[in-house]
Chains A and B, each alone.
Chain A
């Protein structure tokens, strides 16, 4: 009897052990970490901006149309007013190349001073106290890489390639940005002031989590940061 029982147990134990083994090997060790392990690129910026010459051309064209209007000044328009470059409060973001289309909420900082993020894996958040998309400076939009059910809105952000288009819309305007840089930065080395900082031209910055999970901190060790520049309309 006893022997029989033991035999029975062994019969069960072997498949059980196999199930456990299979479970352990089949479980992805940490896909987010693997996917973000070797990412990153930077397209060399175009050396000089042609903004000023364009303005000059514009001014010249205006002069031709109204030759007598501004005889005193060579410039048709007040060059200081041409600096006005308003942004938008973003409502939607889409990245056709990796099939992302998501609503954008407007959030600020958490109690601990972090950039706030949505409480779900579908929405994105724009850091609304910072720069607006389309304004000079770096407008930042963040999204989760995963949620309790698995992949979230920015799961595929690592798949972005230089030149991919990001479309941000709001206030009846649609702005197009072109991806030029991607980097996965250790949290302690991330220069927050630079990521959220001023830039001479409008930039869009996308952020999600990357790297291995740090159980002590309760978050991943790195942040995937994607930089894109505004494509002139």
Chain B
């Protein structure tokens, strides 16, 4: 239980850290982290990052979405939701090292009594026009499985707990997929799975083998960005001043003209 707490705390910490720093100015040195609660018998958790409450009451099968955190090492500690924070007292704790510009999934996996972090680096790129997928085996008592096309080839073979496979790139299309045992026995059907172009997916098998289910997350969707910010002002600050100068100048001309005119007639 203490381990679980540590794990959870770590997750929470990550979330907090990420959350509080999302809009920090030092964008250049940031990493992305998302936390996933994949421990089937663990309670909802609070996650503390570097001692700050970052995520609150995260239930099983919930992910935080990507949070931005500074690159470096962060103390992530997980507590059962509502537990008072005490450094080192969580059910799960980890010093998580993250690199600038990279993205990570931090899953709290396994049953509570053996709760552990499973960390994977997530892909933030995909070949233009392609879809990209990987699977994570986070069902603590399920055997090794394959994921493949029903009646066809396996896309991923021999995925074991607690592991997350490499990515596979596929043409965007609708696939009749299944999770199956290496002997071909179907464990979970995933018929009509639509994989979109320019999108990166993670598919996690969670819960215990008798209640096996899938959590699907989008890791990344590609889109273009410009090199530079827009130039969003058509005016310049001295426009108003130059108006006054113009008026002043005009008055001066009128006055000077009057002066000359008067002088001539004197």
Q: Does the CB pair B23–A47 fall under 8 Å?
A: no
User: A8-B259, A12-B259 known; A24 and B241 CB under 8 Å?
Assistant: yes
User: Is A148 an interface position by the 8 A CB rule?
Assistant: yes
Main secondary structure of the interface of B (DSSP, over half): mixed
The contact string, 1 if C-beta is below 8 Å from chain B, for chain A 81-119, is 111100000000000000000000000110011111100
Selected contact of A16 from candidates B63, B215, B228, B255, CB within 8 Å: B255
Selected contact of B262 from candidates A8, A15, A33, CB within 8 Å: A8
Query: Complex formed: what's the CA distance from A74 to B244 in Å?
Result: 75
A contact residues around B251 at 8 Å (CB) = 16, 19
Selected contact of A209 from candidates B66, B201, B232, B239, CB within 8 Å: B232
Minimum C-beta distance from B121 to chain A (A): 15
Q: B247's closest neighbor in chain A, by CB?
A: A23
Q: Does the CB pair A213–B221 fall under 8 Å?
A: no
Q: Does the CB pair A183–B23 fall under 8 Å?
A: yes
Q: Does the CB pair B189–A50 fall under 8 Å?
A: no
B:1-34 near A, CB below 8 Å = 12, 15-16, 19-20, 22-23, 25, 27-28, 30, 34
Q: Does the CB pair B59–A75 fall under 8 Å?
A: no
Minimum C-beta distance from A111 to chain B (A): 11
B contact residues around A117 at 8 Å (CB) = 230-232
The contact string, 1 if C-beta is below 8 Å from chain A, for chain B 64-76, is 1111100000000
B contact residues around A53 at 8 Å (CB) = 59, 61-62
B contact residues around A16 at 8 Å (CB) = 248, 251-252, 255
Q: Does the CB pair B65–A49 fall under 8 Å?
A: yes
Q: Does the CB pair B234–A146 fall under 8 Å?
A: yes
B contact residues around A78 at 8 Å (CB) = 190-193
Q: Does the CB pair B229–A147 fall under 8 Å?
A: no
User: A20-B248, A52-B63, A78-B193 known; A191 and B232 CB under 8 Å?
Assistant: no
Selected contact of A185 from candidates B25, B59, B189, CB within 8 Å: B25
The contact string, 1 if C-beta is below 8 Å from chain B, for chain A 21-40, is 00110111111110000000
Minimum C-beta distance from A44 to chain B (A): 6
Q: Does the CB pair A194–B259 fall under 8 Å?
A: no
Binds B, one of A160-168, A169-177, A195-203: A195-203
A contact residues around B28 at 8 Å (CB) = 191
User: Is A69 an interface position by the 8 A CB rule?
Assistant: no
Q: B245's closest neighbor in chain A, by CB?
A: A23
Q: Does the CB pair A200–B218 fall under 8 Å?
A: yes
B contact residues around A200 at 8 Å (CB) = 34, 65-66, 218
User: Is A207 an interface position by the 8 A CB rule?
Assistant: yes
Q: B58's closest neighbor in chain A, by CB?
A: A48
User: Is B87 an interface position by the 8 A CB rule?
Assistant: no
Q: Does the CB pair A114–B231 fall under 8 Å?
A: yes
B contact residues around A145 at 8 Å (CB) = 232-233
A:101-159 near B, CB below 8 Å = 108-109, 112-117, 120-121, 125, 127, 129-131, 135-137, 142-150, 152, 154
A contact residues around B15 at 8 Å (CB) = 47-48
Q: Does the CB pair A115–B230 fall under 8 Å?
A: yes
Minimum C-beta distance from B64 to chain A (A): 6
Q: B207's closest neighbor in chain A, by CB?
A: A74
